[in-house]
Amino acid sequence: MEADAARYIGAGLAAIGMIGAGIGVGNVWASYISALARNPAAKDDIGANIWIGFAVTEAIALFALIIGLLALFG
Amino acid sequence: MAASPIEQFEVYPLLPIQVGNLDLSFTNSSLWMVITVAVSTVILAFSARGGALVPSRLQSVSEMMYELVANMVRDNVGSGGRKYFPFIFTLFVFVLFANLLGMLPHSFTVTSHLIVTFTLAAVIFVAVTIIGFYRHGFHYFRMFFPHGAPLWTAVILVPVELVSYLSRPVSLSVRLFANMTVGHVLLKVIAGFVITLGVFGIAPFIFLIALNALELFIAALQAYVFAILTCIYLHDALHMH
């Protein structure tokens, strides 16, 4: 196989890692909304922490993206 | 074909300085770092100068930033965190202004280079580790083994905790760098569609405006996340788990 072709296939494969991050971020917000539905008074307490959960989960997608970019341009 | 979306991240020397084998040139990256520090210092110093009891609009901007970080340190670091407030506030303001100034057209995003964010993260990591050993001595190794777990699980838990501890500077720096890089690449790619689609370019143009708003939000959010994770690491070092 040509090196260029393998490079594009590798970048595509790296994008699979984003499936997990998609599920994870969906989970974060779903839990947030169901927590708010149960106890709307807790909004301020949860509000700050939700962004930590979001950022930590989102980082996984970005790691996958970095691998993809490395495969393409590295 | 439109210009490469990676082109905007190019570092080039403005004032070449060569010391021995070291290339210490003053680059566009250095220039924008200086601008970041200058703008944030001027805004904070100028807005805090009046010190009115009822703040003006500019004064309340800096008061809100101060309160945000003060609350963050109080809630997340807990007791003994007050003396680290200046460091975390400086970190927050530097990252925030670097991200926001990067959103100006034709500017350079300082935080879109891994070496910049990794240096920040490495300083935090080394400082937090030293604080931990200084406060707890040899007992700090207890970090890698949770209280109450059966002893035989140490075989699995210690390596996992060790890797998770050592990957902190990597994840902290890559998160900020990747968010900034990806955002700017995305803006450039969509902007390329606006040109190539001609009249129908109005659709990606509207999308581009929305995306710009999202990027401004991400810029502030990533600065917040960077500061809050520093607080959490500091809490671990001061109070263990």
pLDDT tens for A21-74 read: 999 999 999 999 999 999 888 887 787 778 888 888 887 888 888 888 888 876
Q: Are B120 and B93 in contact (CB under 8 A)?
A: no
DSSP string, B109-172: -GGGSHHHHHHHHHHHHHHHHHHHHHHHGGGGGGGGS-TT--GGGHHHHHHHHHHHHHTHHHHH
Q: What is the pLDDT of residue A55?
A: 81
pTM above 0.80, yes or no: yes
Q: What is the pLDDT of residue B3?
A: 64
Q: Alpha-carbon torsion B162, B163, B164, B165, what sign?
A: positive
Mutation target vs A (from B113, B225, B232; most A CBs, 10 A cutoff):
B225
Q: Measured between CB atoms, does A72 come within 8 Å of chain B?
A: no
How far is the CA of B27 from the CAs of B33, B110, B223, in angstroms? 10, 11, 24
Amino acid at A73: F
Contact list in A for residue B176 (CB cut-off 8 A) is none
How far is the CA of B48 from the CAs of B82, B96, B109, in angstroms? 20, 18, 27
Give the CATH fold of the A2-73 domain.
F1FO ATP Synthase (1.20.20)
d(CA A70, CA A55): 22
Q: Measured between CB atoms, does A6 come within 8 Å of chain B?
A: no
In chain A, where the domains are located: 2-73
Mean pLDDT for each consecutive 10-residue tract of chain B (241 residues)?
70 83 86 94 86 80 90 85 91 94 89 92 94 87 80 85 89 90 87 85 90 91 91 88 64
Please report the ipTM that was assigned to this predicted complex.
Answer: 0.72
Q: What is the pLDDT of residue B105?
A: 85
Q: Does A62 contact B174 at a Cβ distance shorter than 8 Å?
A: yes
Min distance A13 CA to chain B CA atoms (Å) = 18
For B6, the closest chain A residue by CA position comes to A73
Q: Does B178 contact A63 at a Cβ distance shorter than 8 Å?
A: yes
Of B178, B179, B228, the CB nearest to A52: B228
Residues 6+ apart with CB under 8 A from B98: B32, B33, B36, B109, B110, B111
For B220, the closest chain A residue by CA position comes to A51
Q: Are A65 and A1 in contact (CB under 8 A)?
A: no
